[in-house]
């Protein structure tokens, strides 16, 4: 089978992104001092609230889970690795008094059936959800596939992302103040969604050329552009349901350049990590706006892209990364197809 046309990189978008120093720890320090109102989060209690945080075993996800648990929320951690998940669980429980409020669920988000099993069990066991933080994302160093033959990064970053959110929206709608916070990478500024790339990822292609040409960083940018587009889709779907009483707020957030195990272990980002390491944000700094969107009182924004507690533009000037409505619908259809590939639970 001939290779699909490759996605093009927006050089102008990439330059505007990588030359922006506000993504470093310097940016968060300046904005915290000049623009943030610490009162927004200082005394917020989440007692009685239930949250799900994916990718909570390390990095930003762990910092978010720790913060929400510290505010009294019942936190459900979704992790793929039992070893890393249990280590994170013990660490978070060690900092709070009500240790039973934090629970670990072992779910591989690249496997649709595991997501379906988790959602079914969660609905039966808990049935209440106020906050969903979609943090999990991967940048593999080589071509891999899930059990259904879908490229593993696509399966996690878009198909699993879509499936988990779509499956949990019905119970989120029952909350008095439901929030969905989607963590994305601003690497999306270098990418316009390329449908042939997404389509190819849904079908096993395991030729020597496919393996040699695999680019984790290129796919990562594509997938996170897709996550922002899916945020728009879910926000619009929630808005259409408001007449039925739903008030779900769905937003995406870029955490800045954060020193996480995922970044440190990404082969394609090795040079970037070494070059800018001392300027990377801490995990807590990266988690700040995620937490702010998850629990700041009176949030009215939905369908927005945030960076450092402020709504930002989703495209860089003249970068050519905007897609049309048809491409968004095709993306949704492809995610539905990938998620439904596993037999229903």
Name the one residue in this structure whose structure tokens are 């999306």.
188
User: Distance (Å, rounded) from C-alpha 317 to C-alpha 256?
Assistant: 19
CA within 13 Å, CB half, 87:
8
Task: Quote the Cα angle for 307-182-155, to 5°.
Answer: 130
User: Distance (Å, rounded) from C-alpha 333 to C-alpha 338?
Assistant: 9
Identify the helix (H) or strand (E) that includes residue 90.
Answer: helix 82-93
User: Distance (Å, rounded) from C-alpha 251 to C-alpha 305?
Assistant: 6
Integer CA distances (angstroms), 211 to 13, 223, 225, in order: 27, 19, 23
Query: Hey, which residues are catalytic here?
Result: 220
Interhelix angle 325-339/112-125, nearest 10 degrees: 80
User: Distance (Å, rounded) from C-alpha 40 to C-alpha 51?
Assistant: 19
In sequence order, what are the residues at sequence separation of 6 or more whose Cβ sits closer than 8 angstroms to the Cβ of residue 303? 231, 232, 235, 236, 239, 250, 251
Q: Report CA 343 to chain centroid distance, whole Å.
A: 25
């Amino acid at each position: 089978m001939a290779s699909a046309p490759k996605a093009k990189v927006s050089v102008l978008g990439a330059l505007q992104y990588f030359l922006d120093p506000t993504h470093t720890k310097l940016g968060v320090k300046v904005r915290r001092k000049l623009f943030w109102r610490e009162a927004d989060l200082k005394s917020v209690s989440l007692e009685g609230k239930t949250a799900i945080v994916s990718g909570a075993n390390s990095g930003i996800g762990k910092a978010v889970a720790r913060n929400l648990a510290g505010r009294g929320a019942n936190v459900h951690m979704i992790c793929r690795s039992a070893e890393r998940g249990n280590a994170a669980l013990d660490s978070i429980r060690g900092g709070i008094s009500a240790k039973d409020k934090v629970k670990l669920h072992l779910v591989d988000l690249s496997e649709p059936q595991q997501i379906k099993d988790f959602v079914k069990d969660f609905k039966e066991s808990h049935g209440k959800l106020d906050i969903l933080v979609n943090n999990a994302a991967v940048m593999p160093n080589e071509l891999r596939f899930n059990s259904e033959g879908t490229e593993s990064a696509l399966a996690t970053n878009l198909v699993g992302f879509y499936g988990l959110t779509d499956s949990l929206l019905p119970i989120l709608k029952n909350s008095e103040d439901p929030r969905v916070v989607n963590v994305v990478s601003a690497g999306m500024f270098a990418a316009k969604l390329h449908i042939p790339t997404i389509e190819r990822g849904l079908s096993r292609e395991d030729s020597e050329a496919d393996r040699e040409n695999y680019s984790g960083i290129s796919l990562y940018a594509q997938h996170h552009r897709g996550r922002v587009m899916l945020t728009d889709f879910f926000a619009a779907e929630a808005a259409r349901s408001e007449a039925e009483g739903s008030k779900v707020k769905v937003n995406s957030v870029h955490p800045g350049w954060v020193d996480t195990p995922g970044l440190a272990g990404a082969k394609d980002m090795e040079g970037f990590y070494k070059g800018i390491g001392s300027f990377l944000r801490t995990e807590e700094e990266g988690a700040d706006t995620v937490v702010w969107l998850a629990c700041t009182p009176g949030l009215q924004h939905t369908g927005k892209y945030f960076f450092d507690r402020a709504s930002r533009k989703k495209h860089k000037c003249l970068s050519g990364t905007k897609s049309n409505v048809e491409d968004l619908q095709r993306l949704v259809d492809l995610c539905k197809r990938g998620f439904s590939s596993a037999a229903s639970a």
